[in-house]
């Protein structure tokens, strides 16, 4: 990148955010090197509609690397960032508390919690992720019933597996879970999945090959969901908070990114 590099010696997301805010006042483009969670912390720490950002992917799942269609080694990605234009992308406002490019309510919260447990015991990579998925589906995750309102349209879902609200198609490891999602169309992309084991396995397998084909898909500018019991919100691969209701709204052109 031929630019100044700062290593942030922080121990909490709050400290990291404070350092990012201070650096953002002294640079033209703030490039973060890390995983999806690192970039998520950046977009929640600074005003990304005013300060352009960039992203060097160093994480494990790398959903954002796939979403931005980065190819090659880090040097190739850095060269692309340096030579690219600044684009204006949308973000998701989750409960007026956190901004995200990917969010969901359902099984993902359980998966993240189990994966963190396995990683604390030395587990790494896709094998650890798959183990958490399997145990969550077969044992740990308890489904809920949901009343969902997208703009002015309301519908009910029984035995909710997951409600995804996203701005890009990918989960970690290249899983294309919402193939029609786009960063720049001023819409929330919503996928509601309540299928059983066989369809879920088919959908998960297809997500690695041709893109997921299960679930009910729609778009809108705002979404509200009311649950019959609390579930955990997932944002950009991190565990959020538990609640029995959530709201999501589109934040048009909230992210200036050099990519």
Could you tell me the domains of the chain?
Answer: 13-90 (3.40.50.10330), 98-253 (2.60.200.40)
In tens, the pLDDT along 85-124 reads 999 999 999 999 999 999 999 999 999 999 999 999 999 8
pLDDT at 134: 95
In tens, the pLDDT along 224-244 reads 999 999 999 999 999 999 999
Q: What is the DSSP string of 125-141?
A: HHHHHHHHHHHIIIII-
In tens, the pLDDT along 188-231 reads 999 999 999 999 999 999 999 999 999 999 999 999 999 999 99
Burial of 250 from C-beta contacts in 10 A (0-12 / 13-18 / 19+)? buried
pLDDT higher than threshold 90 for residue 4: no
pLDDT at 59: 81
Higher pLDDT, 141 or 3: 141
Q: What is the mean pLDDT of residues 58-68?
A: 91
* Confidence category of residue 1, pLDDT binned at 50, 70, 90: low
79 contacts: CB under 8 Å, gap ≥ 6: none
Higher pLDDT, 125 or 230: 230
pTM of the model: 0.93
Q: What is the mean pLDDT of residues 3-27?
A: 84
Query: What is the average pLDDT value for the chain, to the nearest integer?
Result: 94
């Amino acid at each position: 990148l031929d630019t100044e590099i700062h290593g942030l010696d922080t121990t909490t997301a709050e400290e990291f955010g404070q350092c990012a805010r201070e650096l953002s006042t002294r640079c033209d483009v703030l490039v973060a090197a890390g995983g999806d969670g690192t970039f998520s912390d950046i977009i929640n720490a600074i005003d990304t509609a005013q300060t352009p950002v960039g992203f060097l992917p160093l994480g494990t799942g790398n959903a954002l690397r796939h979403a931005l269609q980065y190819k090659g080694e880090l040097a190739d990605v850095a060269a692309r960032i340096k030579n690219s234009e600044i684009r204006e992308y949308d973000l998701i406002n989750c409960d007026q508390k956190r901004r995200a490019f990917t969010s969901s309510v359902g099984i993902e919260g359980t998966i993240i919690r189990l994966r963190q447990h396995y990683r604390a015991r030395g587990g790494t990579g896709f094998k650890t992720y798959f183990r958490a998925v399997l145990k969550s589906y077969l044992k740990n995750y308890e489904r809920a019933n949901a009343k969902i309102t997208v703009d002015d349209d309301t519908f009910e879902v029984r035995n909710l597996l997951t409600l995804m609200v996203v701005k890009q198609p990918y989960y970690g490891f290249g899983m294309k879970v919402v193939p029609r999602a786009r960063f720049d169309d001023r819409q929330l992309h919503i996928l509601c999945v309540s299928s059983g084991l066989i369809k879920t396995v088919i959908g998960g397998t297809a997500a690695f090959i041709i893109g997921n084909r299960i679930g009910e898909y729609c778009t809108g500018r705002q979404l509200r969901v009311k649950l019959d019991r609390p579930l955990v919100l997932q944002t950009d691969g991190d565990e959020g908070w538990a609640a029995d209701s959530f709201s999501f709204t589109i934040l048009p052109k909230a992210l200036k990114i050099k990519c």
